[in-house]
Amino acid sequence: MQKVQTGLVIEFYSNSCLVRTNKKDIPCIGIKDIIVGDVVEIEILQDSKETKGVILSRKNRKSLLQKKDGIKYKNIAANLSHVGILVTPKPKTTAEFIDKWILTSLLSGIEPFVICNKSDLDHDDAYLKQINLYKSLDIQTFSISAKENTNIDLLQNYLKYKCALFVGNSGAGKSTLTSLITGKEIKTNTLSNNQGVHTTSISTLYQVNASTQIIDSPGVRDLPISGWKTNQIIAGFKEIYASSKECEFNDCNHINNKGCNVIKKLNDGEISQSRYNNFIKFRDSVLNDE
């Protein structure tokens, strides 16, 4: 066995990880800031009864998904290409939750898409309007039922040649969907408030087939956005950003300035009120932190 090998971090613990090389999965001693999805160089330890290694270095990441809260950062996963946002009628997924994840994904260089789970349940016109809004923004959207195994094949086909992570509120069906896609049982515990289930497993990368990878990270639900800058927030709202380029003044606040094209498009119905409200809310929240 070669002493130095290149591998992929497929499981992460508090101070160690499991690295998959082209020969086997090797437990390794981690180094600072290593997370699931990282490509690393490892050295095999020769004085161990079983094969173990130590991480020497990390390759450059194509993308990095983080939880940002002011000056604090928590790395979630590396080298993701896509984030699937689970949206459900019950429990109802808020527009704020969806827009936070679209914003975070885009600013992280990751493509967001929407998964409307629980299509077997009744839903009202407001829910359909919400889903149609994201479709109109050219965000890839799927209507599925993980419980009934409906349209899972369409989602599986979309996930080819991608490394994806699913996010959703408690009870959205993330564990059920992850189990369906990966063919692995995701351990869950019932929540005390009967809202759903949550994962208790460690962060794991599943190689579904030769072309699809799914990263499951426990505890990834809602997230703060206070780590971004005010001039970055608008980039997470593509339709608002495009409209802002035609504002009369470059320093337009998009609230009450003369010649604001964003407000004009809002009044004309070309920008949704919920998206505008979240843009202002997110922008003002990080402005207060700066």
Question: With helix as H, strand as E and coil as C, how does 88-120 read?
Answer: CCCCCCCHHHHHHHHHHHHHCCCEEEEEECCCC
Pair 78, 94 in one domain: yes
Pair 196, 245 in one domain: no
Which pLDDT does position 53 carry in this prediction? Answer: 92
Whether 222 is covered by a domain: the verdict is no
Does this model's pTM top 0.75? yes
Which pLDDT does position 190 carry in this prediction? Answer: 41
Which pLDDT does position 49 carry in this prediction? Answer: 75
Pair 21, 135 in one domain: no
CA atoms in the 13 A half-sphere facing the CB of 25: 10
| Strand bridging mode 82-87 / 111-116 | parallel
Whether 85 is covered by a domain: the verdict is yes
What are the tens digits of pLDDT across the range 66-85?
A: 887 767 788 899 999 999 99
Question: Percent of the chain at pLDDT above 90?
Answer: 67
Residues with pLDDT less than 70, the chain? 1, 47-48, 70, 187-201, 288-290
Whether 225 is covered by a domain: the verdict is no
Residues in the chain: 290
- Please state the domain count of the chain: 3
Pair 87, 31 in one domain: no
Pair 127, 243 in one domain: no
Which pLDDT does position 198 carry in this prediction? Answer: 37
Which pLDDT does position 191 carry in this prediction? Answer: 39
Main-chain dihedrals φ then ψ at residue 177, nearest 5 degrees: -65, -45
Which pLDDT does position 13 carry in this prediction? Answer: 83
Pair 113, 141 in one domain: yes
C-beta of residue 133 within 8 angstroms of C-beta of residue 125: no
Pair 50, 161 in one domain: no
Pair 212, 248 in one domain: no
Domain that holds residue 143: 64-216
Cis status of the peptide bond prior to 91, with omega within 30 of 0: yes
Q: Which CATH number is 42's domain given?
A: 2.40.50.140
Residue 218: beta bridge partners? none
